[in-house]
Chains A and B, each alone.
Chain A
Amino acid sequence: MPTCSRNERSAPAVVDTGVRRARGAVARLGLALVFLPLGSGCGDGRVGQPAVDADAAERVRTALVTSTGGVAETGTDAAATGTGWGTLKGRFVFAGTPADAKTLAVDKDTEVCSKDGVKLLDRSLLVDPSSKGLANVVVFVRKSSRVKEAEPPATPVVFDQKQCEFITPVFAARVGQSIDVHNSDPVGHNTNIAGTSFNQLIPAGDGTLFKPEAETGMPTMVTCNIHPWMKAYVVFRKDGYVGVSATDGSFTIPDLPAGEMLEFQVWHERSTGPNGALGLAKPDLKWTPKGRFQVKIEADEVKDIGTLEVPASALGG
């Protein structure tokens, strides 16, 4: 056989695609067999997962274990830089024509929820036809150095539901402030606030009080599991510096600490930005894609940042 083999090899190659193909296939197979174990089997199997920097991990751990002294209390920053108070106002308008709101699929308790043939509409994009005002944009201060009203108001925020709809689609409350979760319907609801573990039965015509214990960060979703189309959003902040734009798109946040740079976060349910952050092209306010802008307000000043145009593309068309 070796002789034969040598003879064949020494003979001038006849163009023969069959042979080439066969040779190529065998060679590829051999190579694959050789590299297969090297390529996959001998790693640690972390496909699509980041590698750990072991040295850095060791360094951080040593620092965490050996650093002396307790962890500093993270409370209100003591660095108050001014004394007065000011107000921020502005107005959001929708630059475009909103599509007709979708009708929600109401298939439970229709004798109440679809009473008199009422159709419930999707309220994620509410634009006032005459003023083009964009409702339910949330604006809040990211970090405040001082707060005018240290204690949350004693009067509870009323959060009601009627005809299988939350009356306020977007609302705010202060941490520690009572929320009167009410049900004005003749059918039972449950109110489930994501991220808080609050999920309670709200019997017909009844209500219960809920006191948020922590901030939400960005607004969090409120739902009713019995009527899954029901949806609202709520934001809890310690300082209460939150504005939710009204039907005409306007918002006002009073009693802000004056004389210092304040950073605001802006959110809208339909925003395509990260976590619902609303990014606008407003370089004068240093508006970022993370939906943050900066403003300094003087004491007793009512700072109007004017009309803020929200392009349709920022809200997913």
Chain B
Amino acid sequence: MNLTTSADVRHARGQFPAWSVKIVLALLVVIGGTGCGATPPAWFRLNMVEATKQKLTPDQERQVATLMTAMFGTPDDPVALPETGLDEAKLRLAAGPVRSDIVGRKNGLYREHCAHCHGVTGDALGPTAAFLNPYPRDYRPGIYKFKSTERADKPTHADLTRILKNGIPGTSMPSFALLSETQIDALVEYVKYLSIRGETELGLMRAYFELDDDAEGKLPETREFLVGEVLEPVAEKWKAAADALIPVPEMPADIDMVASIAKGRELFYGDKANCVKCHGPTGMGDGQANDYDDWNKTIVEWTKEVVGTDDKQWANRAHRVLDGDSLEPRTIPPRNLRRGIYRGGRRPLDLYYRIHAGINGAPMPAAKGTVPPEDIWHIVNYVRSLPYELDGELGADRPMVARDRF
């Protein structure tokens, strides 16, 4: 056996003359040395979940990709049509690869600070996204949680600026307070750009279903359709945000805080404000907890449809998209109000906004309309007292220590 084996090896080696080995090595050196030329330019990913959901044909996907490039440019060379209301100069500071411009100013801020989580496209599919809990925000549906405007409205420029400066406590979103005002301003503008871009893309993809049969499955490439019907309705909402501020009556200065907290507690557990249903009898988020936010629900609902379909070919394609273009859906736990961590800000005003308008994109409903403003203030005061409650109901007759809060 030994003999045969060594003969095999000799045979094998003998089959390749030295010159052939040298040629292969030389080829490898040439390819390895020259590489592939420069790094290919960055590109925006198409929203494959929506494209597949709408059963777009390859031609239709190509048309959307092409129209998106026409209307918004590329990650290195962004375009903002005047109707978007965006400032292209700001976008240029945030876009493109990280580099210094002719006056030594840092460019490519989005890719330096944001893209690794939020993705070059703003689709929350950056390389680190899967490791974070909660996942980073996907800008494309144009839905934002922490803002001073009514539920259905967009956040103001100041709202997004505050998020960038303060970060989001309790999540992986850090503070960028060390950046200059100009840089933060440019990044906020770029987030709006990615958001308007993403919503426009959704609009285009959904428009195929609305086409008349004689359109032969092709969207009109006219200004009237692309700008008038798809882009402008999205951009208008962003422009209107500054006028959609939630009116907040001042909390009475002479308010009896003990009485207010007691009233807030009553509302929290009562069937009018009903906070207890989700935030739970302990306020630790132990109520209704198996729901999803809008971003994850999109994937959950669609997965059900994919699993239930008889169309095997489409299901295969859909499974590929679910694997490559979405993250494993996660439920959204109601906030544990005893930790004293408030994602959208800890000012009483921030809590007022959350309770008044609810949290867009999340199951948290608005109290507006059914709970009067003074009652909202009572709930705010009770919620702010929760991390420090001394009522013994949790078996604690002392101020809660960190261990108890988790």
Q: Point out residues on A near B: beta carbons under 8 Å.
A: 1-2, 4-6, 8-9, 16, 18-19, 22-23, 26, 30, 33-34, 37-38, 41-54, 56-61, 63-65, 67, 71-72, 74, 108, 186-188, 190-192, 196-204, 206, 208-209, 217, 225-226, 228, 263, 272, 274-275, 277, 288, 290, 292, 316
Contacts and interface: CB of A to CB of B under 8 A. Distances in A.
Interface of A: prevailing SS: mixed
Interface of B: 8, 10-18, 24, 27-28, 31-32, 35-37, 40-41, 43, 45-46, 48, 54-55, 58, 61-62, 64-67, 69-71, 79, 81, 83, 151-152, 206, 209-210, 212-213, 221, 223-224, 226-229, 232, 271-274, 277-278, 288, 290-291, 308-310, 320-321, 324, 358, 360, 363-371
B369 A60 contact: no
B28 A34 contact: yes
B190 to A, nearest CB: 19
A217 B278 contact: no
Contacts of B226: 60, 64
A50 B65 CA distance: 7
Contacts, number: 203
B40 A187 contact: no
B45 A201 contact: no
A202 B370 contact: yes
A61 B69 CA distance: 8
B277 A60 contact: no
> Which of A38, A47, A53 is the most central at the interface, judged by chain B CB atoms within 10 Å of its CB?
A53
Per CB-CB distance, the 10 closest pairs between chain A and chain B, nearest first, are A197-B152, A188-B274, A44-B40, A42-B36, A225-B363, A71-B228, A190-B365, A8-B14, A60-B70, A22-B12
B12 A60 contact: no
Given A37-B31, A46-B43, A74-B228, 6 more contacts: A5-B13, A18-B8, A44-B41, A201-B370, A225-B288, A316-B308
Contact of B62 (A51, A64, A196): A51
Contacts of B227: 64, 71
B67 A57 contact: yes
A93 to B, nearest CB: 23
A30 B363 CA distance: 56
Given A4-B14, A108-B288, A197 B360 contact: yes
Contacts of A217: 206, 210
B272 A203 contact: yes
A2 B31 CA distance: 28
Contacts of B272: 188, 201, 203-204, 206
B365 A2 contact: no
Contacts of B277: 108, 188, 226
A275 B70 contact: no
Contact of B320 (A48, A64, A197, A272): A48
Contact of A50 (B35, B62, B309): B62
30 contacts: A16-B11, A23-B15, A26-B12, A34-B31, A46-B43, A48-B48, A48-B321, A50-B64, A51-B62, A52-B65, A61-B79, A63-B221, A64-B70, A71-B224, A72-B224, A72-B228, A186-B271, A188-B271, A200-B369, A200-B370, A203-B274, A225-B278, A225-B291, A226-B278, A228-B290, A228-B291, A274-B54, A274-B55, A274-B209, A316-B308
Contacts of A292: 213
A18 B291 CA distance: 60
Contact of A206 (B15, B64, B370): B370
B14 A5 contact: yes
B204 to A, nearest CB: 12
Contact of A61 (B13, B70, B228): B70
Contacts of A191: 365
Contacts of A41: 35-36
Contacts of B64: 50
Contacts of A59: 70
A85 B368 CA distance: 42
A203 B271 contact: yes
A187 B276 CA distance: 12
Given A8-B10, A41-B36, A64-B223, A33 B228 contact: no
Contacts of A49: 45-46, 48, 65
B37 A42 contact: yes
A201 B367 contact: yes
A46 B41 CA distance: 11
Contacts of B67: 57, 60
A63 B223 CA distance: 7
A48 B308 CA distance: 23
Contacts of B224: 71-72, 74
Nearest to A109: B277
Contacts of B358: 199-200
Nearest to B226: A64
A203 B370 contact: yes
Contacts of A197: 151-152, 360
A22 B16 CA distance: 11
A208 B370 contact: yes
A201 B273 contact: yes
A148 B66 CA distance: 41
Contacts of A6: 17
A34 B24 contact: yes
